[in-house]
Amino acid sequence: MNDISYEQAPDLSVSLWLNTPNDISLTSLRGRVIVLHAFQMLCPACVSHALPQAKAIHQAFPPDRLCVIGLHTVFEHHDAMTPIALKAFIHEYRLSFPIGIDQDAPDNPIPITMQAYRLQGTPSLILIDKIGNIRLHHFGHLDDLHVGAAIGQLLTEKPG
């Protein structure tokens, strides 16, 4: 079912992982659907729509079939959205899924993973199928019905 033309999801460049005992590599998650939520803690649409959706997805699907990963892609207000501030934010908003801090890029306000995925801003939603292909790439909020349908499709596809 997966077309050969899909783009393989780039690796994540993360300077610090939170909410997980071990660092996460996308390769280690083959066989599972990956829901990658790129956000900034001071982005209003992320706080009001995207992160509640990420929480709901994390609760709705079994972790051995689907993995939600948050990616803190700070491209503005770098001195406000520090790792210390993010930890407080995660605590106050009761986020329990793994969250990686996107690696700063030298000479560029846009961090490395954000560049690799060519994200236009936050929130951005990336769905990755069981064999590591990017299957959905959306900037802005996407409603639960469409996200759910896309997830349902990827969960149903045979990995092979």
Q: Radius of gyration (Cα) for the chain, nearest Å?
A: 15
Verify binding: residue 61, a second copy, rule CB under 8 A: yes
| CB 93 to a second copy: min, Å | 6
> How many Cα atoms within 13 Å fall on the side-chain side of residue 78?
9
Per CB under 8 A, which of residues 76..135 are in contact with a second copy?
Answer: 76-77, 79-82, 84-85, 87-89, 91-93
How many residues in the shown chain lie near a second copy by CB under 8 A?
40
**Span from 18-26, 41-49, 96-104, 128-136 in contact with a second copy (CB under 8 A):** 41-49
- Residue 21, Cα to own-chain centre: how many angstroms? 18
Side-chain-facing half-sphere of 7: CA atoms under 13 Å: 11
Sign for the CA dihedral angle at 23, 44, 63, 32 comes to negative
Contact positions toward a second copy, by CB under 8 A? 1, 42-44, 47-48, 53, 56-57, 60-61, 76-77, 79-82, 84-85, 87-89, 91-93, 143-157
